[in-house]
Amino acid sequence: MSKYALFLGCTIPARQPNYELSSRKALAKLEVELVDLPDMTCCSPPPVQSLDLETSLAIASYNLCLAEEAGLDLLALCSGCFESLAIANAELKHDPELKARINRILSATGKQFRGTVEIKHLLEVLNEDIGLKRLKAAVSRPLSNLKIAPFYGCHALRPSELLKLDDPEQPHILETLIEALGAKSLEYPNKLKCCGGLLRGVSDKLALELARDKLLNASKAGADCIATLCPFCFVALDIGQIQIRSKLDETFDIPILHYSELLALALGVESSELALETHKIRVDKILDRI
C-alpha cells in the first residue's frame, strides 16, 4: 500500500471540494493512503516567484521540509502547486549554493531542506505507482459510453525538463489514463493551447476567446465532456461557459470534469459523495450515461 503526503494548496480547499473529494475517494479505492500534514503553507506560484525568487523558493521548500520530516513523497493535486513545488525541489537538489542560501532563510523556522523526497502528480501516481493493469482491474463502472476531450493545461507539463511528466508537445499520459477507464479519448485541434485561466482579470475578452476556441474544438470533435487536471482550467472552462454565454453570446453546454472525478466514478464511488453540485455546468447528462 503506497502512502503520500497530500498537498492541497489554496484553490482546491477554497473553491473545488469536488476535486479534493474525488481524489481522496478514488485513491482510497486504489489503496493509496493520503496523509494530511499540519502547517502546510503556500506553494509559491509564479506571481510570488516574480516578487522575489529566493523568498518564494524558501516558502515552497518549507512544504518540502515537512514532507521530508514525515518521510513521505508529496502528492500535489493542483497542477500549479505541482509545478511550483517540483521546480523548487529540482533546483535546490542540483544547485548546492542555492540550497545553502535557502537553508539560511529556512533556519529561522528550524527547518532544513535535504532533498530526500519527490513531488508527484496525480497522473504519475496512477501511471507508475498503481500501474495501468491494476487501474483497469479496479474499474467497476467503465465509462465506455463517454467520449472525453483530454486537457492538460500548462503547469502539469512545463517546464518539461524539470517536471518530466511527459513530452510537452505530444503528451500521452492523460489519454492513456482516460482510455484505462473504458472511455474514448478524443483528439481535437489546439489541445495543448492555453485555457485562458490566468488571463482572467487581465484581459477578460482574450481569456474568454481562448476558452471559447477550446470548447468549440472539443464540441466539434464530439466530446461529451472535457477532462481537466488544473483548478484554473476548470474555472476557465466551467464558469467560463456562463460568461461566454453573456459576453460573447455563444452557448455551450459541455460538462467539465476533473480527471479525478471521472476516475472516482469509474471506480464505483457514488456520484452523491462527490459534491458534483459545485459544477456550474451540470454533469447530469454524463451521469446518465454511465
Partner 1 sequence: METKEPKVGVFLSDSGKQLSNILDFHAITNFVKGIPGVVYVAQGSDFWHDRGLENLVETVKSKKIDRVVVAGTTPKLSEVKIAREIEKAGLNPYLMEYLDLKDHCAMPHRSTPAEATEKAKAMLAGSVERAKLLEPLKKLEFPSLKSALVIGGGIAGMQTAIDLADLGFQVNLVEREPFLGGLAARAGRFFPTDDCAICIQPPSSDVKTITHTSRKCVYRSGFSEVPNLAIHTKTRVLAVEGEPGNYSVTIEKTPRYIDEDKCINCDKCTKVCPVEVPDEYNGKLTKRKAVYSNIPSVHPPIYTIDENSCKFHDCARCVEACPTGAVKLDQKPEKTTINVGSIIVATGFEEFDSSVIKEYHYNEYPDVITNLQLARMIDNFGPTKGAILRPSNHQPAKKIVFVQCVGSRDQRYKLYCSSICCMISLKHATIIKSAFPDTDVTICYIDMRTTGREHEYYYEKARDMGIKFVKGRPTEITKSLETDKLVVDTEAALLHRMLQVEADLVVIAPAMIPAKGTEQLAEVLGVDLDIDGFFKEYNAKLRPTETKLRGIYICGGATFPKDAPTTSLHAHSAAIKAAKFLNASKITKDQRTAVIDQDFCGDCEFCPATCPYQAISVERKDEEHLAAKVSDLLCEGCGICVGACPLGAIELRHARPSQMKAQMKGLMSVNGTSSPLILAICCSECGHTAVDSSGMAMMEYPANVRVMRVPCTGIVQVQQILEAFKAGAQGVMVVGCKTEGCHYEAGSEKAEKKVDMTKILLQEYGVDPERLEMFKMVFIEGREFAEAARNMTERLQKLGRLNLIPS
Q: Which residues bind partner 1 (CB under 8 A)?
A: 167, 169-170, 188-190, 192-193, 217, 220-221
Alpha-helical (H) ranges within the chain are 11-15, 17-29, 46-51, 53-70, 79-94, 96-106, 122-124, 132-138, 160-163, 173-180, 204-220, 231-243, 259-266, 284-287
Give the residue from 153, 170, 285, 283 showing the smallest Cα distance to 229: 153
Query: Which residue, 120 or 214, has its beta carbon nearer to partner 1?
Result: 214
**Parallel, antiparallel or unpaired: strands 119-121 and 225-228:** unpaired
| CB nearer partner 1, residue 7 or residue 188 | 188
**Residue 141 CB, nearest approach to partner 1 (Å):** 29
CB closer to partner 1, 104 vs 193: 193
Least distance in Å: CB of 25 to partner 1? Answer: 35
Instruction: In angstroms, give the least distance from the CB of 221 to partner 1.
Output: 5
Least Å distance, CB 212 to partner 1, is 13
Strand partners, 33: 3
Which phi-psi region, left, alpha or beta, contains residue 271 (left: φ > 0; alpha: ψ -120 to 50)?
A: alpha
Q: Which residues pair with 74 in a beta bridge?
A: 5, 119
Pick 164 or 282: Cβ nearer partner 1:
164
Among residues 52 and 167, whose Cβ is nearest to partner 1?
A: 167
CB of 203 to partner 1, least distance (A): 12
